[in-house]
Structure 1
Amino acid sequence: MLFNSLDFAVFLPIVFLLYWFVVHKNLKHQNLLLVAASYVFYGWWDYRFLGLIFFSSLIDFIVGLQIKKSQEPSVRKALLWLSIFVNLGFLGFFKYYNFFVENFVEVFSFFGHKITPNSLHIILPVGISFYTFQTLSYTIDIYKGKLEPTKHLVAFLAFVSFFPQLVAGPIERATNLLPQFYKHRKFHYSKAVDGCRQILWGLFKKIVIADNCAQYANAIFNHSDSYSGSTLLMGALFFTFQIYGDFSGYSDIAIGTARLFGFNLKQNFAFPYFSRDVAEFWRRWHISLSTWFRDYLYIPLGGSKGSIWLKIRNTFVIFLVSGFWHGANWTFVFWGFLNALYFLPLLLAKQNRKHLNVVAQHSILPNFREFFSMAFTFGITVLAWVFFRAENFGHGLSYIQGIFSKELLSLPKVRPTDVIVVTLLFVLVEWMGRKRHYAIEKLLSSQKRALRWGFYMLLIALIFVFSNEKPQEFIYFQF
């Protein structure tokens, strides 16, 4: 079920009314309703994968209890590896099986041995990369003694399948989200209003910015050999705003929807395109995934401690794995490699934590140094996104070469005025709200109600004007 679909527009009010007016007096009934609603939401795509998410949840629920119960270190470790094997086994099979088979065949073909691959028509379960990491963090935290296992199966099923963030995050930690299922929840009008406001902004990002930028990004990337350098640059910029509007828009809708039901999810995007270096970018982009890799892979490997070579190794491991997490294609791996190259000088020079505050924190505009740093970071990020979007490595390389041609300074052949103008206005609003959890959280809060509602009506009008006849899927569904 898509957030930007008529189905969800009907589904959400029904669940909301049942939650607050029918089962509101009984916590267990509320959690049961959320489980049922989440399974309906997930099964809307393909009901056959409901058994997969239930089995994965049940395994980790049992493993968590047994890890806590056992006093034998070897048994505890074996149980942990059982959880890792089951979760990563499902993820590896559904997401990477054909990738490894095809690359295995290519390697043998290179040495003159022709073999017939047994590729399967495997359908990738929506959201498997997200809920797999969510349940893995649960068992790992129990093993490390950071979390007590839950004895409430319904609460745990609700935690794993919670429909607002099930399909594309944020990837919530059990330490933050699971305890919220134990507490009685009361309706707060102010939180609900704030949730609706964030949902509206998320829909604007998705429908107005992402979907419209996607039309031109797809047209240019799919026929990149026919366009000039300036047009190719426009295509890269369109994709840059497409992926941000699409993914951060989903996170905004998810966080806002969760707030309607009395839950607080963590911020997943913190205005990453206003970053002054790549390290800051990765603290602000897909925060839930970046911190997951930091806590469960980077730090256990040694982090930024130890020798220079250890730091280099850990940096490349974390970014290469992050790239591969996004998809079974070498373009994602190279995208991760590029970001590792960007990040490494900052780490070695111990400048990777230089920018921890908000840019231009005490002024309206950035100073010259901040502006140059943002422009440079944004520029190299755009180039990295080219490989993320490209069909293969060769396509990405030829696309970059095409950008830096003699026609780079020519007038782009594709320059939709309406999309460019609304994107620039979007950037302006994001800049004005960069100190908040989302851009319009407090925008016009000190102004008269008529002005605020006029702005909200404008956003709604733009959503209808720029919407497509058929709702477009979110990019991260494929990851």
Structure 2
Amino acid sequence: MVFSSLIFIFLFLPITIFLYYISPKKLKNLTILIASLIFYAWGEPICILLMVFSIILNYIMTLFIHNFRYNKNISRNIFIVTLAINLGMLAFFKYFSFIIDNLNMLLGLNIIVEKIPLPMGISFYTFQILSYVIDVYLDKVEVQRNIINFGVYVTMFPQLVAGPIVKYSDINYQLKNRKRSLYKFSEGIERFIIGLGKKVLIANNIGIIWTNIKSLDISSLSILSSWLGIIAFTLQIYFDFSGYSDMAIGLGKMFGFEFMENFNYPYIAKSVSEFWRRWHISLGQWFREYIYIPLGGNRVNLITQFRNLFIVWFTTGLWHGASWNFVFWGLYFGFFIFLEKIFLGRFLKGPLKFISNLYTILVVIIGWVFFDIDKLGLAFSYLKVMFGFKGNPFIDKTFIYYFYTNFFLLIIGILCATPLVSELYTKLKQTRNFKVVLFINLTLCAILFLSTAYLVNQSFNPFLYFRF
């Protein structure tokens, strides 16, 4: 089940909200837990057993870690076993086939394995569990003794399958003492509708451009068509993922939770480092807090810094998918971040300041080629077309057709990817004028109506981060 589906919007969500608000306070978390398990099991009923196992296992193991905290040897051993089990499950379901394929290639073997289905959202909820286990071991948070509350933390459907990745320390208090109000609920509805519009009206429609262009033979593409395709994907993945995060944050508000912001207009960044402080913020903070800083972060010599960045960006790429294109994509960004740390960052703030955003956008767009084209050879071939190294024509009918038929959609996408529209919207809300408030509410109703109409007739409704 996805948020941008009619069954979720008009059946699952209203029923869940109704049951949640009529439940006594002591049973509200149980209501969310049951609803979350149903949400998760809707498309993958077998995988629910894995999730329940993860909840019970980590609940028990962290209690042991806490109870033996004064005996460091026992506590450390339990901690290591717990990490190994969680990472082992992630590795088996997400990377087992990838590992076997590479062993076959390197050693000339012919091991045949069945394709293992990837449980929805396993990368996200595994990272949430790991942050809790690590923080309990380091005595940064109190162990959760209520298994229902712990289950809610792991399975909460608003952010279960695609984040934001919520740390236990950020939500512990809310699990027991969150505040609900009509104003907060209305804020949640507003945020959900905005996210729905970003996903359905912008991401889905712009995504069709990239899907169609990517399916063409590379030799038949023009330079402008190749650029139009990857720019369309650049907008699609932003509105797809940030739209989902908006919906998740909005749903959280409806149930009294406050989740962290996951995007902050990354395409206005003036360096690759800044881009990653604005893109998928919760994931970046997770890697920084649980991998980069424990390795020494910036407080080490240059060679060790390079090693730390290599590890972080290798794992960042691998986290996104069991494929070498994702690993290359991660290391590609790590390379530019390292350059910015040693010298390039100073130039981007000084002599090159006037082209810093252009440089960042160019690096990011090239990065998206490696992200979405899963074969590195094809990705490099596509880049050669983009930069005119394969002798392809400069312009063709494909570009003319997709550019002119989607011109206004592309302009809307570009504008909405900057703070301009959001700032105007905020200023209008702050006027508190009746006519302005009415106009805003009618606009939100129109977005909901149009999104519903598109969902009724649209078969193209993927969510890009579901595969992670």
Q: Same fold (TM over 0.5)?
A: yes
Deviates more, 1:124-133 or 1:197-206: 197-206
Matches within 5 A, 1:354-433: 372-405=355-388, 409-410=394-395, 412-417=399-404, 419-432=406-419
Matches within 5 A, 1:37-186: 37-70=35-68, 71-109=70-108, 115-183=109-177, 185-186=178-179
CA distance in 2, matches of 1:335, 1:384: 6
Q: Which residue of 1 aligns with 2:315?
A: 321
Paired amino acid for 2:15: I
CA positional deviation for 1:222: 2.2
CA positional deviation for 1:427: 3.2
CA positional deviation for 1:79: 1.2
User: Match for 1:459 among 424, 447, 457?
Assistant: 447
Deviates more, 1:278-287 or 1:311-320: 311-320
CA distance in 2, matches of 1:453, 1:371: 39
- The one-character-per-residue Cα deviations of 1:349-389 (angstroms, maximum 9, x if unpaired) are 3949x98xxxxxxxxxxxx9766322221111000100101
Q: Which residue of 2 aligns with 1:474?
A: 463
Where structure 1 has 5 or more consecutive residues not aligned to the other structure, the ranges are 110-114, 356-367
- Secondary structure at the aligned position of 1:269 is classed as coil
Kept in 2: contact 1:156–1:178 (CA 8 A): no
Paired amino acid for 2:312: I
CA distance in 1, matches of 2:85, 2:63: 16
The reply on whether 1:201 has 2:194 as its aligned counterpart is yes
Kept in 2: contact 1:210–1:241 (CA 8 A): yes
CA positional deviation for 1:154: 0.5
Kept in 2: contact 1:49–1:125 (CA 8 A): yes
CA positional deviation for 1:186: 4.4
The reply on whether 1:247 has 2:252 as its aligned counterpart is no
- Secondary structure at the aligned position of 2:402 is classed as coil
Where structure 2 has 5 or more consecutive residues not aligned to the other structure, the ranges are none
CA positional deviation for 1:415: 2.1
CA positional deviation for 1:248: 0.9
CA positional deviation for 1:445: 3.6
CA distance in 2, matches of 1:242, 1:429: 12
Summarize the Cα distance change of 1:280–1:374 in structure 2 as closer, same or farther, 3 Å threshold. Answer: same
CA distance in 2, matches of 1:299, 1:57: 27
CA distance in 2, matches of 1:433, 1:146: 40
User: Match for 2:214 among 221, 231, 235?
Assistant: 221
The reply on whether 1:14 has 2:12 as its aligned counterpart is no
CA positional deviation for 1:261: 0.4
- The one-character-per-residue Cα deviations of 1:64-117 (angstroms, maximum 9, x if unpaired) are 1111111211111111111111111110000000101011010113xxxxx221
CA distance in 2, matches of 1:445, 1:250: 25
Summarize the Cα distance change of 1:148–1:395 in structure 2 as closer, same or farther, 3 Å threshold. Answer: same
Kept in 1: contact 2:204–2:236 (CA 8 A): yes
The reply on whether 1:286 has 2:250 as its aligned counterpart is no
Kept in 2: contact 1:134–1:173 (CA 8 A): yes
Paired amino acid for 2:234: T
CA distance in 1, matches of 2:288, 2:179: 34
**Which runs of 4 or more aligned residues in structure 1 lie more than 4 Å from their structure 2 counterparts after TM superposition?**
368-371, 406-409, 433-436, 439-444, 464-468
- Secondary structure at the aligned position of 1:141 is classed as helix
- Secondary structure at the aligned position of 2:47 is classed as helix
User: Match for 2:341 among 344, 347, 358?
Assistant: 347
CA distance in 2, matches of 1:8, 1:207: 14
Summarize the Cα distance change of 1:281–1:435 in structure 2 as closer, same or farther, 3 Å threshold. Answer: farther
Kept in 2: contact 1:207–1:463 (CA 8 A): yes
CA positional deviation for 1:188: 1.1
CA distance in 2, matches of 1:86, 1:315: 26
Structure showing the higher helix proportion among its residues? 2
Summarize the Cα distance change of 1:440–1:132 in structure 2 as closer, same or farther, 3 Å threshold. Answer: farther
Deviates more, 1:464-473 or 1:305-314: 464-473
What is the total number of aligned residue pairs between the two structures? 456
Summarize the Cα distance change of 1:13–1:428 in structure 2 as closer, same or farther, 3 Å threshold. Answer: same
CA positional deviation for 1:410: 2.9
CA positional deviation for 1:462: 4.5
CA distance in 1, matches of 2:42, 2:364: 35
Summarize the Cα distance change of 1:227–1:465 in structure 2 as closer, same or farther, 3 Å threshold. Answer: farther
Percent identical among aligned pairs is 35
- The one-character-per-residue Cα deviations of 1:37-88 (angstroms, maximum 9, x if unpaired) are 0000000011111110111111111121111111211111111111111111
Paired amino acid for 1:304: N
CA positional deviation for 1:471: 6.1
User: Match for 2:34 among 33, 36, 42?
Assistant: 36
CA distance in 1, matches of 2:333, 2:32: 38
Kept in 2: contact 1:194–1:441 (CA 8 A): no
Paired amino acid for 2:371: F
- The one-character-per-residue Cα deviations of 1:113-138 (angstroms, maximum 9, x if unpaired) are xx221312211000000000000000
CA positional deviation for 1:158: 0.8
Kept in 2: contact 1:2–1:473 (CA 8 A): no
CA distance in 1, matches of 2:446, 2:7: 24
Q: Which residue of 2 aligns with 1:362?
A: none
Summarize the Cα distance change of 1:371–1:349 in structure 2 as closer, same or farther, 3 Å threshold. Answer: closer
- Secondary structure at the aligned position of 1:150 is classed as coil
- Give the TM-score, by structure 1 length: 0.90
Paired amino acid for 1:286: H
Q: Which residue of 1 aligns with 2:25?
A: 26
- The one-character-per-residue Cα deviations of 1:401-425 (angstroms, maximum 9, x if unpaired) are 0111155753624524453312322
CA distance in 1, matches of 2:421, 2:137: 38
Summarize the Cα distance change of 1:162–1:442 in structure 2 as closer, same or farther, 3 Å threshold. Answer: farther
Kept in 1: contact 2:128–2:166 (CA 8 A): yes
Summarize the Cα distance change of 1:419–1:445 in structure 2 as closer, same or farther, 3 Å threshold. Answer: farther
CA positional deviation for 1:160: 0.4
CA distance in 1, matches of 2:372, 2:166: 27
Summarize the Cα distance change of 1:350–1:144 in structure 2 as closer, same or farther, 3 Å threshold. Answer: farther
Summarize the Cα distance change of 1:272–1:140 in structure 2 as closer, same or farther, 3 Å threshold. Answer: same
